[in-house]
Structure 1
């Protein structure tokens, strides 16, 4: 009897320690401007941990990829993603593309055929993001290894598709905004990846139906990439729900292999982040059909890696 009581008490004590996560280290700063070296290049990022980080474990992480010419602070400021992450008790990291050697020093991602300097110099951005995920988990072990997500704007959205193809073992779901899939190699995802795509019918910089962008390059239709993923995710393409409202159409494929694919196609806006701010004077109008952050977080919270 004494042994049984002792085992029970020991079990309760160990269980209590695990529940309170007393063995996990705390951090003094919830905001980090980080650097790491990948392929002899100094890569930069901005990390924001939620206010409850030190009292939690298994904290979800969103990777937010800026558009061509953007930056970590620009994406955070214009799209209010950190506010949403803090409210939802998510960590969020804003990696930055490598600066070009031109006058503007624009940052871009090598998403396949786009964009500019990153493609020309064949920057290995997949390796950067993969190494970044590993490094963050080592430094911040309260971060979840199964609840990692990627969202991005424009060129960053294109990069999301490439990450889904090449890092499906690390990323649970993606939410591209105003981009399209431009990978040059066959997509070899090792598992089904849930996808939420947001786009405007009025986008001329990355036209939803594909063709020549007003920026001068040619992009494939969004549905070309979606059709690829309908196959990878083993979706029943004859079973889909189409909800047409005044300001947007929502198309859902739900009969997939532990996954789902959704498209929000807005009637208003342009090449912009719905619910965000203009990145500069003269930029495209902002759609008020949806708040991108709300639908993205609602989508991400449904999925985790197996």
Structure 2
């Protein structure tokens, strides 16, 4: 009887021990809602790690995805199905959020140079925020420091151009969508930066040909912006038209320094929207069905890295 009792006690202790050991195993967290304080402002972001993040020791590439005016981390992820694409291609993705305005709508914006609204008017240092965020993610997660990229929609795409100009030592390539560059002076990137630009010829919010858009801002023509970058990247003088059909026009600047190619997709359909995504609001433009921006962007990023 004593032997049986001792056996039962030993079994119970073993179960308790194993249960405690199991509970002590770190939980594998793939989605992190984070925040940090930059210049006395609370800044927020959403980070998603790829499905195989914990299965190997290698570092992963990172995409920084910037929403447009009035958008958010959740809105970008939902409407553009971007996490679905980064999970398939093995990228980590972080969705930072712009500061909220003090108006009734509390719209989030980025200070991309001379646009847009509250962030620009208050001279918010969004470059500092993104730089600090990159450093934090590198020190906390297995991020490949040579494979950090930026994409953005509208005002977020404008911010992507600013980051390409001012953080080219950290960012391997950028992919602005429905945007243009709004920096007031000459750009001085420290290295050539590969660029994938996506736009619709029907965009009236940020017109591809330039001019006055939404909010009364005057925007530079995208062609002139890409010519500036082609010169900085020491590309061949004349771009090549790769595709020009009823769906879209693909133009490419080749033979660039350090293979920093520039590509531009100009769709015939759509408007101020994310091609292949969903409408962000009922009154918004229909997205182009000619291309899938999220897929093109991830494929483009996979071919580029810092030296």
Q: Same fold (TM over 0.5)?
A: yes
Matched position secondary structure for 2:216: coil
Q: 1: CA distance between counterparts of 2:27 and 2:64? A: 20
1:176 maps to which residue? 176
Matched position secondary structure for 2:134: helix
Say whether the 8 Å CA contact 1:155–1:179 is kept in structure 2.
yes
Say whether the 8 Å CA contact 1:253–1:262 is kept in structure 2.
yes
* Per-residue CA distance 1:3-48 (angstroms, 9 max, x = gap): xxxxxxxxxxxxxxxxxxxxxxx77311000001111111000000
1:245 maps to which residue? 245
Say whether the 8 Å CA contact 2:239–2:251 is kept in structure 1.
no
- TM value normalised by structure 1: 0.90
1:21 maps to which residue? none
Say whether the 8 Å CA contact 1:47–1:91 is kept in structure 2.
yes
- TM superposition shift of 1:94: 0.2
Q: 1: CA distance between counterparts of 2:208 and 2:118? A: 24
2:134 maps to which residue? 133
Q: 2: CA distance between counterparts of 1:69 and 1:124? A: 18
Matched position secondary structure for 1:94: strand
1:265 maps to which residue? 266
Q: 2: CA distance between counterparts of 1:47 and 1:106? A: 21
Q: 2: CA distance between counterparts of 1:185 and 1:244? A: 33
Matched position secondary structure for 1:42: strand
Q: 1: CA distance between counterparts of 2:265 and 2:27? A: 38
2:232 maps to which residue? 232
Say whether the 8 Å CA contact 2:241–2:249 is kept in structure 1.
no
Aligned length: 281
Matched position secondary structure for 2:257: coil
- TM superposition shift of 1:247: 0.4
Q: 2: CA distance between counterparts of 1:80 and 1:242? A: 27
2:34 maps to which residue? 34
Matched position secondary structure for 1:268: coil
Structure 1's 121 and 214: CA in aligned 2 closer, same or farther, altered over 3 A? closer
Structure 1's 43 and 239: CA in aligned 2 closer, same or farther, altered over 3 A? closer
Q: 2: CA distance between counterparts of 1:36 and 1:185? A: 30
Q: 1: CA distance between counterparts of 2:99 and 2:105? A: 12
* Structure 1: gaps spanning 5 or more residues: 1-25
Q: 2: CA distance between counterparts of 1:215 and 1:271? A: 14
After TM superposition, what 4+ stretches of structure 1 lie above 4 angstroms from structure 2? none
Say whether 1:89 aligns with 2:72.
Answer: no
Alpha-carbon RMSD? 1.3
Q: 2: CA distance between counterparts of 1:266 and 1:169? A: 31
1:280 maps to which residue? 281
- TM value normalised by structure 2: 0.89
2:198 maps to which residue? 198
Say whether the 8 Å CA contact 2:62–2:147 is kept in structure 1.
yes
Q: 1: CA distance between counterparts of 2:93 and 2:27? A: 16
Say whether the 8 Å CA contact 2:177–2:198 is kept in structure 1.
yes
- TM superposition shift of 1:239: 5.2
* Structure 2: gaps spanning 5 or more residues: 1-25
- TM superposition shift of 1:237: 1.6
- TM superposition shift of 1:240: 2.3
Say whether 1:146 aligns with 2:111.
Answer: no
What is the 5 A alignment of 1:50-89? Answer: 50-56=50-56, 57-89=58-90
Q: 2: CA distance between counterparts of 1:287 and 1:137? A: 35
Q: Which has the larger radius of gyration?
A: 2
- TM superposition shift of 1:270: 0.1
Q: 1: CA distance between counterparts of 2:140 and 2:236? A: 41
Say whether the 8 Å CA contact 1:241–1:253 is kept in structure 2.
no
